[in-house]
Structure 1
Amino acid sequence: MTTITTRTVEYPADGLTMIGHLALPAGVDRRPAVLLGPEGMGLSDVERRRADALAELGYIALAFDLHGGRYLGDPEEMLARCLPLLADPDRMRGIGHAALDVLRTEPRTDPDRIAAVGYGTGGAVGLELGRGGVSLRAIGTVNATTTGRPGEAAHIRCPVWAGVGSEDPIMPPEQRNAFTAEMQAAGVDWRLTVYGGALHAFHHPPVGHPVVPGVGYHPRHAQRAWRDVVDLLAECLPVTEDLGA
């Protein structure tokens, strides 16, 4: 296994002091980088481990924060914060840009080779960065087939991959259809993977607190969705050139 290093990073966003998790592969050379966004509950060890796994693959990875260092295990508190956020593209972009600035400031990050991958609310943030015109190599989301303001998807200049559970009541078929229609009308290179029988947040291991209805873990599809994310990055943001392969 590749040796990696990790550190906590603090930065301001959305009127809060965010606490992100930065993971770096061994070496001193510049590498492609991934901005990793968490589910609406906020940054947890699940996303930290995913950032570490990306670093083991050779990427600089920043798992960013949504709630000022807090994890919102109370569903009502989570919805009270996330629903207004999801309805405000400019706030989402502000959170995304703040994290992106941290990632770009890391000396080993190649600023011209950055992708955004996110889950739920974190995925919506990544999509809004694209709609806002940020130059990214790829955008990947899981259960975040969110639509944006009319016409702004035309600013997305990279491939977009989205994964969603077929039985997800939070991102139901009509929402998926609206998302794909938006991407198609904007001329985006998009893909949608529907995981049969999966609920919302199917990728997230069970948590020890109440969750909103329609959430459920699906271990097999969780593994598949991770492989699909890695494949997206391998296609759009390869690390082989940095590794001398």
Structure 2
Amino acid sequence: MMVATREVTYDVDGLSMIGYLAQPNGPGPWPAVLIGHDGVGLEEYQRQRADDLAAHGDLALAMEYHGGEVFFDRPDAMLSRIMPLLADVERLQSIGRAAFDVLLAQPGVDPDRIAALGYGAGGKIVLELARAGVPFKAIAVVHSAFPDDKVEEWSNVAGTFLLCTGSEDPVCTPEQILTFGRALQEAGIDWRVEIYGGAEHAFWAQPRKPDGSLAEGTAHSMTTVPGVSYDPKATIHAWRAVLDLFGETF
């Protein structure tokens, strides 16, 4: 299916955000997916995921929350930006809500068929939106940071949750995923887990040079946290799981 793409600029958190919109051809109505990037920034991988979703018949908006910056070679600057965000739930919800409003405002969006996909800190943003009452029909998160796992915080949340990580991820461990999943289960939420053997944190992210161009191999020349490496097999498996969830939902 042919898709149309464009940048979408909107203001939140004192910054001008530059999101990426991909939509199928035709009049709609379409299911819609909100995508949250990880702490490094909105890069080509998330844009490609938006393109792929649009090719499957979903309108997709990859949100942005660094004001156009991508921290490929500045780990300290990235952590200085991301850690205060992760600690401030209201700020995360505000950032996510602004992007969600942009998504809903697109012509052809079916407001009754909305899903979310988040990586790392972007996973926590979409989870916080769900906790705040955004009616996602499905949520997929990959090596996410997790919100509060108190059961009562999730008792009014619906939809199906997909939680993915690598078995060797030191930041989003399988134990953390199962702890969060048990809270969802006690709240009556449908949830599933995929754990990829041998995969580390941000396993989908191909190594890049300081200028942002792709590098060879699986090891990153500079990382923001320990335990990060590229795993192409886990990348494929996780994306298939996401497509399966959204296909099943819509």
Name the TM-score, length of structure 1 as normaliser: 0.92
Deviation at 1:116, TM superposition (A): 0.5
Contact 1:32 1:59 in 2 (8 A): yes
TM-aligned CA deviation for residue 207 of structure 1 = 2.3
Partner amino acid, structure 2, of 1:42 = G
- C-alpha distance in structure 1 between counterparts of 2:76 and 2:48, whole Å: 26
CA contact (8 A) 1:118 1:124 kept: yes
- Structure 2 CA distance for aligned equivalents of residues 161 and 197 of structure 1: 19
3-state SS, counterpart of residue 34 of structure 1: strand
1:112 corresponding residue in structure 2: 112
Residue of structure 2 in register with 1:50 after alignment: 49
- In structure 2, what is the equivalent of residue 222 of structure 1? 235
Cα shift at 1:75: 1.3
**Residue 167 (structure 1) aligns with:** 168
Partner of 2:245: 232
Q: Identify the residue that residue 209 of structure 2 maps to in structure 1.
A: 208
1: distance between equivalents of 2:179 and 2:79?
22
Say whether the 8 Å CA contact 2:36–2:119 is kept in structure 1. Answer: yes
The alpha-carbon distance between structure 1 residues 44 and 86, as it changes in their structure 2 partners (threshold 3 A), is same
Equivalent residue of 2:65, what SS? coil
Q: Are 1:90 and 2:90 counterparts?
A: yes
Measure how far apart 1:47 and its partner are.
Answer: 0.7
Separation in 1, partners of 2:140, 2:59: 16
**Does the 8 Å CA contact 2:165/2:174 hold for their aligned counterparts?**
no
CA deviation digits over 1:97-156, x for unaligned, max 9? 111100100011111111001111111111111111111110000001513263322232
- CA contact 1:29–1:108 (8 Å) conserved in 2: yes
Q: 2:41 & 2:154 partners in 1: Cα distance?
A: 26
Equivalent-residue separation in structure 1 for 2:131 and 2:100 (angstroms): 15
Secondary structure class of the residue paired with 1:155: coil
CA RMSD for the aligned pairs? 1.3
Task: Please say if residues 25 and 56 of structure 1, whose CA atoms lie closer than 8 Å, have aligned partners that are also in contact.
Answer: yes
The one-letter amino acid of 1:201's match is A
Residues in 2 aligned to 1:110 and 1:96: alpha-carbon distance in whole angstroms: 19
Residue 9 of structure 1 is matched in structure 2 by: 8
- The whole-number CA distance in structure 2 between the counterparts of 1:149 and 1:87 is 15
Q: Which amino acid aligns with 2:180?
A: F
Tell me the distance in 2 between the aligned counterparts of 1:173 and 1:50: 24
Distance 2:27 2:234 in 1: 35
Partner Cα distance (1:117, 1:177) in 2: 19
The one-letter code matched in structure 2 to 1:166 is S
| 1:241 corresponds to | none
Q: What percent identity do the matched residue pairs reach? A: 47
Q: 1:137-181: CA deviations, max 9, x gaps?
A: 100000015132633222321111110000000112442233123
- Does the aligned pair in 1 maintain the 2:34–2:116 contact within 8 Å? yes
Whether 2:129 is the aligned partner of 1:129: answer yes
Q: How many residues align?
A: 236
Amino acid at match of 1:176: I
Written as runs of structure 1 = structure 2, the 5 A alignment for 1:18-57 is: 18-57=17-56
Q: Distance in 2 between matches of 1:40 and 1:103?
A: 21
Partner deviation per Cα, 1:60-101 (whole Å, 9 max, x = no partner): 000110101111221111111111211222111111111110
**After TM superposition, which residue ranges in structure 1, 4 or more long, deviate above 3 angstroms?**
none
Corresponding letter in the other structure for 1:217 = Y
Instruction: Identify which range, 150-159 or 173-182, moves more after superposition.
Output: 173-182
Identify unmatched segments of 5+ residues in structure 1: 238-245
The answer for the alignment partner of 2:146 in structure 1 is 146
* 2:234 partner letter: H
Counterparts of 1:27 and 1:59, CA distance in 2: 11
